[in-house]
Amino acid sequence: MNLLQIGGLAPWSSIDYPGAMSAVVFCQGCPWRCLYCHNPHLLPRKAASTIELTDVLHFLQRRRGLLDAVVFSGGEPTLQTGLPDALMAVRDMGFRTGLHTAGIYPERLRAVLPLLDWVGLDIKAPFERYASITGVADSGWAVRDSLQYLLDSKVAYELRTTVHAASLSAEDLVLLDVQLLRMGARPVVLQKCRPQGQAANLPYGAEETFRQQDGAEQDGTRLVGKLGMKGKM
Ligand code: SF4
């Protein structure tokens, strides 16, 4: 078994897998440096594991019948070659499997989709605007490919967008919604940026962010035609 480098474990969560009680495994490492990343301690690839996968599996063994699902989050879980084996192991134990991903590695995501029951895919911005958030040139196109694979797979999913006034305007959100509509994807669920991690260094505080995004839908409805503007085509 290829082992997973793990940066943390949340033993109980009611919010990380829709409608299910889950444990969350935080995978170590991410190649991006998003300006609002909440988990900067998970970004270095080489940090020591705080908990071994075998210990996670022993914990899960004791939680059979109490937990419904196991979610792999990060960091970026698809960075690690150990992810498929870990997904198979928790599925063999009878848990549903979930993945939080930024869609950085489309081919790796495609490879694990048959092992997943649900995917939460971060959509950070209109695809051509990704570099302003991730710090990596042209990083959005890989995410578009990941989304296409996800849509083709028929695996249940949610698209989530973190909103901060320093990173996305209302116009950006409408343009993004147009791009998703054209791909046949559901609208994003908007998440307010929390002022922690790297987000603490952003130029606006949380209240200013919320005020500037006032009127943005947060329940996963289409934004086209809302927010008092039309999307640029
Ligand atoms: S992709 Fe996710 S984990 Fe990686 S830097 Fe961005 S917010 Fe952080």
If one compares 34 and 164, the residue with the highest pLDDT of the two is: 34
| φ and ψ of 110, to 5 deg | -60, -40
Confidence (pLDDT) at 89: 97
Q: Above pLDDT 90, what percent of the chain?
A: 67
Atom 6 of ligand 1 has which residue's CA nearest to it? 34
For range 14-39, the mean pLDDT: 94
Closest by Cα among 150, 151, 125 to 138: 125
Residue 103 has pLDDT above 60, yes or no: yes
> Per-residue pLDDT tens for 40-89?
999 998 777 678 999 999 999 999 999 999 999 999 999 999 999 999 99
The mean pLDDT value for 181-196 works out to 85
Q: Using a 6 Å cutoff on CB, does residue 79 contact ligand 1?
A: no
30 CB within 6 A, ligand 1: yes
44 lines ligand 1 (CB under 6 A): no
Task: Read off the pLDDT of each residue in 175-181 and give the average, rounded to a whole number.
Answer: 93
Ligand 1 in reach of 33 Cβ (< 6 A): yes
Buried b (16+ CB within 10 A) or exposed e, 47-72: eebeeebeebbeebeebeeebbbbbb
> Hey, where are the domains in the chain?
6-212
Instruction: Tell whether the model's pLDDT for residue 132 goes beyond 70.
Output: yes
DSSP type of residue 198: G
Fold of the CATH domain 6-212: TIM Barrel (3.20.20)
Which atom of ligand 1 is found nearest the CA of 31? 4
Q: Is the CB of residue 70 below 6 angstroms from any atom belonging to ligand 1?
A: no
Calpha distance 178→118 (Å, rounded): 24
The tokens 């084996």 sit on which residue? Answer: 85
Find tokens 């939080």 and name the residue.
Answer: 100
pLDDT of residue 36: 87
